[in-house]
Amino acid sequence: MLSYRHAFHAGSHADVLKHLVLMLCLQHMNSKDKPYTVVDTHAGAGLYLLDTEQARRTGESINGIGKLWQRNDWPAPLAGLMALIKQANQTGQLLRYPGSPWLIDHLARPIDRLRFCELHSTDFALLRRQYKDAGRRVAVYQDDGFEVLKASLPPPSRRALVLIDPSYEIKSDYVKVVAAIKDSLKRFATGTLLVWHPLIPQLEANQLPEKLKKAGAAHWLHATLSVNAPSTQGRGMHGSGMFVVNPPWTLAATLNDTLPYLADILALDHQAKWQVDEFEEKNK
């Protein structure tokens, strides 16, 4: 939706989960010498100032990255993410939160190809400005990320990581996400596909994980992190999830070790919880 600005939500508990999983998957991609392509279908502005009016209006970073910033007891995987976020805050103060394009750019190698998509004109301008001198390695599109994804698969290198995280402010996003996963599996069955989704009291949101599980992937992982009980008023996000098609073989164990810490530190009430489910069809 063109009115959506991620600046209002940067550094939230949902970003922490999304970017932790993204980092772990990119690190796995880097374990092989062969280059890969990354497609970020809803890239946003790339880097966010946490002292802006938008960020202060919601204050979501306070209960997300703000709770982790001053600690030093992070589990090893989370320590890796915190090190990256500290790179974006060289003064030692938490003033900036890196979005997925920044993290992808800093984790991917010179041989890898990055495609960032953003429709919102303001965020696209900010994103394009960051990568105006990036050369052929980074392509920035003011275009429908779902369409760019179709054109990107299969990649020349036969290795790809895709991040899909629309705003879900319009119900058609849920339909488009499932369609994108099904289409991507037909075009390139071995790609690693990441879908972020909100945990909210809404029918389409509740149905999405089950639809993704039935989209045809032979191997998937689903991780969720809730920081409080669902609203009795029928609105508000109490957590989020990451659905990963063709996940790294170490991802489930790593998240099982890390998510209990996040649920404890980011909890807003006693109903904070986490879960990791994994499925692999052995004979497919």
What residues are annotated to the active site?
165
Q: Check: CB of residue 190 under 8 Å from CB of residue 234.
A: no
113-117 and 37-40 strand pairing? parallel
Nearest to 21 by CA among 160, 221, 191: 221
Instruction: Kindly tell me the burial class for residue 35, based on how many C-beta atoms sit within 10 Å of its own C-beta (0-12, 13-18, 19 or more).
Output: middle
Which residues are CB-neighbours of 266 under 8 A, at least 6 positions away? 13, 16, 63, 64, 67, 68, 225, 227, 272
Instruction: Provide CB contacts within 8 A for 135, sequence distance 6+.
Output: none
**How many Cβ atoms sit within 10 Å of the Cβ of residue 3?**
7
Q: Which of 198, 277, 173, 193 is nearest to 15 (CA)?
A: 198
**86/48 Cα distance (integer angstroms):** 14
Largest distance between two CA atoms of the chain: 53
Amino acid at 199: L
Q: How far is CA 210 from the centre of its chain?
A: 19
